[in-house]
Structure 1
Amino acid sequence: MSNRETDTREHILATGRRLTAQQGYSGVGLNELLKKAGVPKGSFYHYFRSKEAYGCAVLKDFVHDYSDRLASSLDHPTLNARARLLAYFEGWHQNQVSPNLEDRCLVVKLSAEVADLSKDMSEILRQGVIEIIARLAVTLDDGIAEGSIAQIDDTNGMAEAIYHQWLGASLVASLSHDDSPLKSAMHTTQQLIPSA
């Protein structure tokens, strides 16, 4: 693809991600997307064979970006592993209450919706979740090794439990328009990963 083609494709994806964060995947019609992006229908089908293929591309783009953000948080050079984990979840809390819907996690926003719509989209999100949990487990292992986190026998199981807790807290916070579930998730997370 030429730079111009790459730019157009990225513009469609960025516009679509913004709309999806606001309205969900099903809530974004193709005509609305094209109008907001300022591109003709033919351009869309040049880059994406269907709306589902476009949805997969949006989610792959989100998972890739999220992986980069996760690394910048969990690899912070001046914090110990426990502090990095807590900072990551504090950032999650702040993003989920942000008035900018694009800051919020698309896994939280779309998991239930795409589970019934698209096996391919569901698989992209599922793989993204697996990678996040694995990265959290590595950080737990790092904390145990460096002495900032007390011994945990099953770091992968703990990472999975904490991540699932935050997904649930985010859903309840969205339903209630109250961040109390996120505060509760942080309190529980601090207890589950005690200092050594």
Structure 2
Amino acid sequence: MSIASSKQIKREKLLDQGVQMLMNQGYHGTGLKKILDTVKIPKGSFYNYFASKEDFAAEAINHYIEPFILRLNSHLHDPQVDGLTALKRYYGELISELEQSGYQGGCLLGNLMGEIGNTSEVCRHALITTIARYSHLQETALARAQRDGSVRTDRSAKSMADLLFNSWQGALLRMKIEQSVEPLQDCIETLLEDYFLEKR
């Protein structure tokens, strides 16, 4: 294995562990030493991978969203599925997984927006960029659904994608305190099965 590929593997391990700890303990509760000990990388080596803890958190934000983007993309690229159905299936999977996990974690983006969104410029920029990428994919799904006539056209696909993201984040917070997926189900049913639909 080359030095470059070995370094990349260790970097990925750091990010995997970082995402998990940021989800469970938050930015301020996540210590670099604990991450490094878990991944078995010497403390002094951290700065071979990341410039600072802020830079690490910003990279973790990007790392966190990738599986969600890949999953939604897989639904959108299914030729048998329209844009609205792709979103319904995607969110149905997320709701099922959150229920199985005991309502733990929520969304790293929402967690960090609340904790450090206005105190770390590096992380704020990473959050803005990541949310834009994620929302754009949902906008693509809604625009496709508008073209096939299933979603209303008096509102832009972008405005509906933004509403979907914002509503989902709020529903995740209620999920945590209520220990129930009902807020998530209500969010998706209200938007994807009613408000966004083209009225016949």
Q: TM-score, normalised by structure 2?
A: 0.86
Q: Is the 8 A contact 1:56 1:124 kept in 2?
A: yes
Q: Is the 8 A contact 1:74 1:81 kept in 2?
A: yes
Equivalence for 1:83: 85
Equivalence for 2:137: 135
Equivalence for 2:37: 35
What is the number of residues matched between the two proteins?
A: 196
Equivalent residue runs for 1:5-44 within 5 Å: 5-44=7-46
Distance change (3 Å), C-alpha of 1:29 and 1:121: same
Please state whether the residue corresponding to 1:143 is helix, strand or coil.
Answer: helix
Cα distance in 2 for residues equivalent to 1:16 and 1:72: 26
Q: Is the 8 A contact 1:149 1:193 kept in 2?
A: yes
Superimposed CA distance per residue, residues 67-106 of structure 1 (whole angstroms, 9 cap, x where no aligned partner): 2222123333321122112112222322433418888421
Q: Is the 8 A contact 2:136 2:161 kept in 1?
A: yes
Distance change (3 Å), C-alpha of 1:83 and 1:145: same
Equivalence for 2:197: 194
Please state whether the residue corresponding to 1:2 is helix, strand or coil.
Answer: helix
Cα distance in 1 for residues equivalent to 2:133 and 2:121: 18
Cα distance in 1 for residues equivalent to 2:103 and 2:30: 15
Q: Is the 8 A contact 2:146 2:152 kept in 1?
A: yes
Superimposed CA distance per residue, residues 45-69 of structure 1 (whole angstroms, 9 cap, x where no aligned partner): 2111211111111112123333222
Distance change (3 Å), C-alpha of 1:152 and 1:71: farther
Equivalence for 1:183: 185
Cα distance in 1 for residues equivalent to 2:127 and 2:88: 23
Cα distance in 2 for residues equivalent to 1:60 and 1:167: 17
Q: Is the 8 A contact 2:106 2:172 kept in 1?
A: no
Cα distance in 2 for residues equivalent to 1:35 and 1:16: 12
Equivalence for 2:53: 51
Q: Is the 8 A contact 1:21 1:106 kept in 2?
A: yes
Q: What CA RMSD, in Å, does the superposition of the two structures yield over aligned residues? A: 2.2
Q: Shift in Å at residue 42 of structure 1?
A: 1.6
Superimposed CA distance per residue, residues 101-155 of structure 1 (whole angstroms, 9 cap, x where no aligned partner): 8884211222211214411112111222122222222211211212333434322
Q: Shift in Å at residue 166 of structure 1?
A: 0.9
Query: Please, which runs of 5 or more residues in structure 2 have no aligned partner?
Result: none
Task: Report percent identity of matched pairs.
Answer: 24
